[in-house]
Amino acid sequence: MVADFDDLPPLPEAQIAVCALGTTRAKAGSDAAFRAVDRDAVLAFARAAQKAGVTHFILVSSVGANPNSSLLYPRTKGEVEVALAAMGFARLDILQPGLLIGPSGYRRAERRPVERFLQWAAPVMDLAVPRDLGSLPAETVAHAIVALTKHSKPGVFRHTNRAIAAFA
């Protein structure tokens, strides 16, 4: 079932919610469709989570997220981070990984030649870029999310590759 983010049913009561929702501009088909997923749907889910009593929200965003960027992807990610921080969750963890690497699984049917090349080239490229800008196994991000569910100190926390790897 595909969720209608404009009209989400009430979510079950919970203390923690995790959002790793996202797409690509190419997959979405337009800038507006991309923003409808990566911004609007993420924020709709966050509002629904807050109504369900969530006090700890965990978001998988991206390295380079910046609401003032001239580029669509980092600007959208940055706008979401700012909006979530303003929502007043007791704890907000924002993971900002670099390129996620790992088995493509559900993406096998999709043609993503640039992403496929970057994953192949990541070990060499990682030697030339700062650690927080390099690649990170998706499994490491998943382990960090689980670890972060055990943290309760209030505030807004941004975690780049180094911190994500340390949590994992």
Catalytic residue list: 73, 77
Which candidate, 94, 62, 64, 66, places its Cα nearest to that of 78?
66
Domains and CATH numbers, the chain: 16-167 (3.40.50.720)
| Cα distance between residue 141 and residue 21, in whole Å | 14
Q: Could you tell me the pLDDT band of residue 107, with boundaries at 50, 70 and 90?
A: very low
Kindly report, residue by residue over 15-55, the tens digit of the pLDDT.
Answer: 999 999 999 888 899 999 999 999 999 999 999 999 999 99
Q: What is the mean pLDDT of residues 114-138?
A: 64
* pLDDT greater than 80 at residue 3: no
Q: Which helix (H) or strand (E) holds 59?
A: strand 56-60
| Cα distance between residue 78 and residue 107, in whole Å | 25
Q: What is the mean pLDDT of residues 102-128?
A: 57
DSSP 102-141: S--GGGGGS--HHHHHHHHHHHHHTTTS-GGGS-EEHHHH
